[in-house]
Amino acid sequence: MFDLIKKTMFTGVGLAGLTKNKVEKLAKELAKKGKLSEKEGKKLLDDLLKKSEKARKDLEGQIERVVKHTMKKMNLFTREDMLKLRKRIKKLEETLKDKEGTKC
């Protein structure tokens, strides 16, 4: 019974969107209804929290990859590009300053 409930919840619920409070509330409701023992409820809670966190991190990684890919396709200027450009400008300014100093 416990495995069936767990599998149903994992497939039926968007784990990436579950907050700790929602997971705890769901586990408590199942325990109150007598469908889970206290031990099973704690195990379910731990499993859901771990899976939820992993799903959230996976989703964030996927979103980041898609955004980077989209930005690259659109040929948009990134933060990394800006930082590289700043370094180049600073280096050029220093070189120019040195050359102006030797002219005097």
> At 84, is the pLDDT very low, low, confident or very high (cuts 50, 70, 90)?
very high
Determine the structural domain holding residue 37 and report its residue range: 2-73
> At 83, is the pLDDT very low, low, confident or very high (cuts 50, 70, 90)?
very high
Each residue of 15-50: pLDDT tens digit? 556 666 776 777 677 777 776 677 777 787 788 778
Each residue of 41-76: pLDDT tens digit? 778 778 877 877 787 788 888 888 888 888 788 888
Total domains in the chain come to 2
DSSP string computed for 31-87: HHTTSS-HHHHHHHHHHHHHHHHHHHHHHHHHHHHHHHHHHHHTTPPPHHHHHHHHH
48 within 8 A of 42, measured Cβ to Cβ: no
- Distance, in Å, from the CA atom of 59 to the CA atom of 40, rounded to the nearest integer, reads 28
The reply to whether 16 and 49 lie within a common domain is yes
91 within 8 A of 51, measured Cβ to Cβ: no
36 within 8 A of 44, measured Cβ to Cβ: yes
Give the residue-averaged pLDDT of 74-102.
91
Q: What is the pTM of this model?
A: 0.48
The reply to whether 66 and 98 lie within a common domain is no
Tokens 């800006």, residue? 82
pLDDT at 88: 97
